[in-house]
């Protein structure tokens, strides 16, 4: 694995975050929202609210599609779904990225299923074999059709394009149409920070997908606070972390949370210019509406939460390394890191979210109560409220 490419925050930002960790720990406090909020149960269990979210948050607005590394070479393609829209993103022959609605214009079958690493310059429908150009979505062929479509211009049957942009090692798509995307504008000031973390240098290592019987927001809520760690993760994680201290910052609809490990306190006696954040903290970003990026020293994890129904969510979990993993020791290390994250979330966090959903769906609880000490969740639900207000 490459030893030269590492995540590195802008130095002033890194020092400021470490300083805030020490100050919060000394005061036995955490980042606090201006006010707590009550989130009505209906925002988790209402079909009508779920439809509002699908339209405004997952179709109209830009969403994260994948890391640039998932489309490393021309021909590589990946399917995803957002707001009910099937999407395919592909590395085109010119090296750029294209995005299309992932349906054949014949009978609407998906052209791509999952991730396909290939140098092919075309999409071939697995249903009837229709062929499309990855560069512009043009229909190239209708094999064995016996002139059955001679009254329809091939141009009319091209793939439907979607707006897509690539920046800072990420691919961003607009599922609802072709209005252009300015990634830095969308990031509301996070662009320089994400660029410094070298996402453009990562390599895909592991990926898994699981389905949970709960609303998507409940799964994200848990990522946006560390208040639960001493209790829910008493055995698995609690001893490694220092408690309440957790600097939080909002960037438009997105946010950043630092979850420091106990080892960070060993730096308190060092000169300020020797402080480091990433070796002893999880640097976590939430990119609206449904992505968590956890940056740890030497690797990155992403968690994409895909609502399939008001009470069913697919969680796509991936690990990326900084450089290729080429030794058995490295493979053992990253296998263990991926499995540890999978085990904690699948055995502790996500089952708890399912139980919470059942409680909210009972009709006996009218709201959840979010405290000032949970600013990430407060901010998340402000984003939901603002994003759905126009629908």
The residue extents of the domains of the chain are 1-60+189-391, 63-180
* Strands annotated E in the chain: 37-40, 63-67, 77-82, 85-91, 97-101, 115-116, 122-124, 131-133, 139-141, 161-167, 170-174, 202-212, 248-251, 254-260, 281-287, 291-296, 299-309, 312-322, 367-370
In the DSSP assignment, the letter for residue 111 is: S
Q: Tell me which CATH code domain 63-180 carries.
A: 2.102.10.10
pLDDT, position 154: 86
Contacts of residue 277, defined as CB under 8 A and 6 or more positions apart, other chains included, come to 9, 14, 17, 18, 21, 258, 264, 283
pTM of the model: 0.95
Using only C-alpha atoms, the chain has a radius of gyration, in whole angstroms, of 22
Query: Contact 381/39 with Cβ under 8 angstroms?
Result: yes
Residue 144, both tokens? 């064995």
Within this chain, domains 1-60+189-391 and 63-180 share the same CATH topology: no
Query: Contact 277/258 with Cβ under 8 angstroms?
Result: yes
Give the separation between CA 21 and CA 100, rounded to whole angstroms: 44
* Strands annotated E in 83-192: 85-91, 97-101, 115-116, 122-124, 131-133, 139-141, 161-167, 170-174
In CATH terms, the fold of domain 1-60+189-391 is Naphthalene 1,2-dioxygenase Alpha Subunit; Chain A, domain 1 (3.90.380)
pLDDT digits (tens, 9 = 90+) for 210-253: 999 999 999 999 999 999 999 999 999 889 998 899 999 999 99
pLDDT, position 204: 98
Identify the residue whose tokens are 């490459």: 2
Residue 6, both tokens? 């590492």
**How far is the CA of 97 from the CAs of 4, 137, 161, 172, in angstroms?**
27, 12, 12, 10
Chunked into runs of 10 residues, the chain (391 residues) has average pLDDT values of 67 97 97 98 98 97 98 97 98 98 96 90 96 97 87 91 98 95 98 95 97 99 95 92 94 98 95 94 98 93 98 98 95 97 97 98 98 98 93 59
Count of helix runs (H) and strand runs (E) in the chain: 10, 19
Residue 84, both tokens? 């009910």
What is the average pLDDT value for the chain, to the nearest integer? 95
Give the separation between CA 19 and CA 25, rounded to whole angstroms: 10
pLDDT, position 391: 59
């Amino acid at each position: 694995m490459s030893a030269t490419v590492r995540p590195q925050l802008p130095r002033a930002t890194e020092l400021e975050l470490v300083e805030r960790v020490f100050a919060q720990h000394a005061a036995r406090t955490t980042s606090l929202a201006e006010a707590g909020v009550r989130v009505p149960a209906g925002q988790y269990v209402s079909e009508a609210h779920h439809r509002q979210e699908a339209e405004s948050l997952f179709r109209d607005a830009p969403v994260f599609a994948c890391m640039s590394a998932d489309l490393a070479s021309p021909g590589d393609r990946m399917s995803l779904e957002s707001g009910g829209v099937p999407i395919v993103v592909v590395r085109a022959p010119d090296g750029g990225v294209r995005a299309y609605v992932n349906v054949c214009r014949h009978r609407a079958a998906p052209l791509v299923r999952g991730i396909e690493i290939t140098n092919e310059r075309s999409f071939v429908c697995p249903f009837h074999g229709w062929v499309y150009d990855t560069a512009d979505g043009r229909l190239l062929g209708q094999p064995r059709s016996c002139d059955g479509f001679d009254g329809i211009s091939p141009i009319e049957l091209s793939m439907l394009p979607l707006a897509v942009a690539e920046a800072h090692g990420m691919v961003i798509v607009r599922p609802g149409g072709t209005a252009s995307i300015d990634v830095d504008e969308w990031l509301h000031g996070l662009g320089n920070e994400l660029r410094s973390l070298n996402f453009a240098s990562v390599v895909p290592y592991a990926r898994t997908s699981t389905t949970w019987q709960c609303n998507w927001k409940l799964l994200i809520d848990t990522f946006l606070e560390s208040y639960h760690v001493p209790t829910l993760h008493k055995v698995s994680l609690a001893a490694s972390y220092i408690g309440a201290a957790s600097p939080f910052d909002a960037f438009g609809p997105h946010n950043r949370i630092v979850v420091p490990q106990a080892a960070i306190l060993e730096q308190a006696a060092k000169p300020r210019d020797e402080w480091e954040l990433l070796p002893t903290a999880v640097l976590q970003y939430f990119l609206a509406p449904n992505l968590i990026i956890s940056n740890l020293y030497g690797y990155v994890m992403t968690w994409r939460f895909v609502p399939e129904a008001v009470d069913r969510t697919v969680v796509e979990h991936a690990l990326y390394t900084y450089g290729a993993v080429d030794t058995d020791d490295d493979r053992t290390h990253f296998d263990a890191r991926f499995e540890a994250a999978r085990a904690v979330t699948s055995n502790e966090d996500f089952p708890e979210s399912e139980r919470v959903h059942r409680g909210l769906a009972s009709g006996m609880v009218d709201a959840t109560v979010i405290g000032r000490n949970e600013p990430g969740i407060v901010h998340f639900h402000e984003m939901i409220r603002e994003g759905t207000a126009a629908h």
